[in-house]
Each structure stands twice: as structure tokens, then as C-alpha cells.
Amino acid sequence: ETRVQNICFVGAGYVGGPTAAVVAYQNPNIQVSVVDKNSERIESWKSRHLPIHEPGLEDVVRIARDGIASRTHSSGSDERSMSQRSPNLIFSTDVEKCISEADIVFIAVNTPTKEYGTGAGSATNLAALESAAVTIAQFARAGAVIVEKSTVPCGTARTIQDIFAVHRPNDKFEVLSNPEFLAEGSAIRDLLCPDRILIGSSRSPSGFAAAAKLQSIYSWIDKSKILTVNTWSAELAKVVANAMLAQRISSINTISAICDKTGAEIDQVAAAIGSDSRLGSKFLKAGIGFGGSCFKKDILALTYLANSLHLPEVADYWMAVLAVNDFQKTRFLDKIVSKLNGALYGKKITVLGYTFKQNTNDTRESPAIEVIQKLAEERPSEIAVFDPGCTALEIRHSIDAFVSPAQFQNLHTYDNVYDACSGSSAILILTPWEQFKSSKLKLDSQDINLTSPTVSSIDASIPDPALARSPVPTKPAYSPTIYGELKTVSPLVEPPECPPDCQRCQTPAA
């Protein structure tokens, strides 16, 4: 009765897609579907060109989605039978059907900051979550377990329960909180080897039974890493984890401002602090501040919660983390302008790195966007942008969404780092991609370290011979490392054919 045979993920984004793929990969006997109302995204998940770039993702998706053919040849005396496997992962726009077949339904839709009405600019916009919950309430099997995978405000499980009470008054459903802690850029590794799995349930026999059912699909994770807590603790813990990570970045960034005005060096200070085992060394790299779709929105949601609980001191404390993040970007821009003698007019400026962090193609809330917007006001002759994770066209489309064409006529995006740097007065490394660090592009300073800002007046019109010898790939050099047990499986089934006019195939190959 408790055996899980079918799971549905609602929302095929940065969380739903990779999480479903790893769950399917690790549970060959469970059918996993990922549904989304965005048909373009679903088509992309079905194709050779996944909508999301993550090291290792392609392999996991291909194994689970396309299966593994039985081994036809043997190499020498080694005739180990490789486990053949049938596909158990599908991507679909048939939301209702997939939901109706599932024993567990995950909600992995977007929960951005609300931009209008009550709570505009800080509350969480739960429209997508509510609409998904209504569809699930209408179509789910009686007794299916509903799981919040999205990051939600504390108390959201009750809202979902209320929706179910209206649509299915005669059936009983458990709503669990199972927030996702993966970091973009290392999503597959994080899913295969998470620090913990957090499961929040109601403290009742049916709540515990639902939690046990959910736990059973995390078959590859050591029991000691599974934390079972009450629903509200799980919901709140996710938001606070992000707020605390962001807070560390802002903390070290405030110190970088002090370093700039004294003789102290931020990297030395950070190393000294980080070697204290009580503090640890992670998230102590000073830079232009955090971006991405999560940190800011989760801090805003936390302050909204604090204010609505009449705890203004708590809200103010967390708002300061965001204020420092803005301050840091302003300092960086001021520094660029002053390094270039206050005059960007007529100069070419190169921005290397447009994604919000390395090893992802996600550009949401990237600090680069604001830097580019502000630089444009200084009227340089050209702003050149290159990122190893996005094609020139993808960067263009993203930037076009933020600014008017007139403002950006001098903005050019590149598929090649040399062309982007050629003839530039300044190269700004805004994302710490490995290739920017390891190549000669390192220039004379550290990636995004503000105390020695990555502004260098180099004349890149003459190609640097060292750079030419070790070319910087124009596409992500995804780590060939395959995590977990993946390395033991082969051969894969050929991925689906592309249509003859496939646009993505025309872009430079990896």
C-alpha cells in the first residue's frame, strides 16, 4: 500500500527538472513525470538541448529519460552484463493526466516576489503555487501525498490544505514540506550527495506515514541525513538558510569596504576568519554582491513575515543585508569609473560573465545586469559582453528585456572571448568562471574581488600569445566528472533526433 510507483513534479524549472531527473535516475522502478504549462520548456526537456545547463544533468536525464540499451558487445574477456534499463522519466504538458496518476505530487513552481498590491516588493507571489494547488486538488488521486518543493512562506501548507478542503471535501490529503537546498552550478552533485533532506509533516499518524512514504524515494541517501521536523519548521528553515548565506556575503563585503580604506587585504582577512572552525571558510569571498533568483526574494519574504508578525527589529536586521548588497555594486561601479579617469565616453568596456554565478546558464537577477545598465549611462563606445554559459543570442535576449534599444545600441554580445576583449579599455570579470581564473584573463587581479577590482586597462587588440595557446572555450567546459554511481552505466541510448532546421544545433558546439 505504501509503495510509491508514480511521482509527478509540477514545474519543470531549475528545481523541478534536475530534482525529478535525479529521483528517476535513482529509482528505476518508479515512473516520474515532470509537467509544465510552458510547452516550449517541455519540448526543450524532451530534446537534445536541455533548457538548463548543469554539470552532469545531461547524463542523468539521458539515462532516465531515454533508458540504457542492452549491451550488445563485450570487450575482451570482460563480459559483465550492464544493466539494461527502461526509460522512467517523461516530460509533458498533460498536467492533469500526470497528476492523476501520481502517488506523490511535488509542487516545484516559481514563487517570486510579489510586484503589485498588498506586500508589493517583499511578500511572496503565490499565484503560480495556488493555481498548481487547485489543479492538483482537482485531479489528484485520493490519498496522494502533496509535497511543497518550492520555497514558500511559513504557513503555506495550511493554504494548500484549505484549497484541498474546498475541492475535495471528502478525501484526505497530507501536505508535506520538503524544501530543496540545491545550488545552481552544482545541482546534480547536491541532489546526489545532499547535506540533508528536510521533511516537514504534521505531527499526526497520517503525517508521519506520508513522511515515511516520501522518505522512501530518497533511497540513495543515508538515513542519518534525513531530518524530519514539523511542517512550519521545514518551510521556515529553507528561507532562513538562504538568508544566512546571503548575510555572510554581505558581512564580508562590508569588511571589503573597510579594507579599501585601510591597509588590510580582504582575502587575507577572509582566510584568517575562515580558518576558525566555528565560522568555516565558505561564503567569505568578497565581490560585487550576490545575484540570482533566490537570495533577495527569500530575504524579502523573511522581512515581510517579520513585519507581519510585528517584529520590525527583525525585519530591519535582514533588510540591512540587502542594503549592503546594493552598496557593494555602487562601490564597484564608482571604482570602475574612477579607474578610467572618470571618462568612459568613447571607450570599449568588456564584461566577462553574465550569468549570476559560474556553471549555470541562469541569468536571473544577475549583478551583471545592473552593472551594464549603469555603465551604459556613461556612454562608452561599446559594452561587450561574453559568458561561457550563454550564447551571444541568449545574452542579447536577456538584456533586451531590461532596456530600451536606444540605450543599448552600443551593446554587443559575443560567442568568443577574444573578440569581446579586443581593443577594450577595461575588462570586468563579473562571474568567477573557472576559465576566467585559470587563463591569462586573470590579468593582474582576482576575479570579482573589490579591493583589487578587475579593471585593467589592457590593449587586447594584439592577441596575447599565451591566451592564444590555451584558448578559452566559448561554451561551458562542463566538468567531465560524473558523480555518484553514474560512471558505472553505459551505453546510453541515442538522444532524440533534432529537426533538420534546429536552431540550437547551429550555435557553436561545446
| Binding-site ranges for ligand NAD (CB under 6 A) | 10-16, 35-38, 41, 95, 108-111, 128, 131-132, 150-151, 180, 182, 184, 293-294
Residue 97 is labelled as binding a ligand: no
Asked if omega into 476 is within 30° of 0 (cis), the reply is: no
Separation of first and last alpha carbons in the chain = 47
For residues 510 and 495, give the distance between their C-alpha atoms in angstroms, rounded to a whole number.
16
Tell me how far apart the alpha carbons of residues 410 and 381 are, in angstroms, rounded to a whole number: 6
Residue 183, marked binder: yes
For residue 50, count other CB atoms closer than 10 A to its CB: 22
The beta-carbon contacts of 338-345 under 8 Å, at least 24 apart in sequence, are 339/426, 339/453, 339/455, 339/457, 340/425, 340/426, 340/455, 340/457, 344/375, 344/378, 344/379, 344/380, 344/425, 345/378, 345/379, 345/380, 345/381
| Nearest residue to ligand NAD, by Cβ distance, number only | 13
| Minimal distance, residue 13 CB to ligand NAD, in Å | 2
CB of 110 to ligand NAD, least distance (A): 4
Residue 46 assigned as binding residue: no
Q: How far is the CB of 22 from ligand NAD (least distance, A)?
A: 14
Residues 6+ apart with CB under 8 A from 442: 436
**Is residue 309 marked as binding?**
no
Cβ-contact 356, 329 below 8 angstroms: no
CB of 366 to ligand NAD, least distance (A): 13
The total number of residues written for the chain in this structure: 510
**Rounded alpha-carbon distances, angstroms, from residue 247 to 25, 76, 303, 462:** 35, 57, 13, 42
What are the beta bridge partners of residue 92? 35
Do 45 and 89 touch, CB atoms closer than 8 A? no
Instruction: Decide: 246 and 190 in contact? Cβ < 8 Å.
Output: no
**Crossing angle of the two packed helices 367-377 and 312-339, in degrees rounded to 10:** 50
CB of 309 to ligand NAD, least distance (A): 21
Nearest CB to ligand NAD, comparing residues 44 and 454 = 44
With respect to ligand NAD, which residue has the nearer C-beta, 151 or 363?
Answer: 151
**Which residues touch 298 (CB under 8 Å, ≥6 apart)?**
151, 238, 239, 242, 243, 246
Amino acid, single-letter form, for residue 397: H
Residue 111 assigned to a binding site: yes
Give the H or E element holding residue 228: strand 226-230
- Which pairs with CB-CB distance under 8 Å and at least 24 residues apart come from 76-85? 82/489, 82/490, 82/491, 83/489, 85/28, 85/489
Which residue's CB is nearer to ligand NAD, number 202 or number 293? 293
Active site residues: 294
**Residues comprising the binding site for substrate?**
181-184, 238, 283-287, 291, 357
**Residues comprising the binding site for NAD(+)?**
36, 41, 111, 151, 184, 297, 364
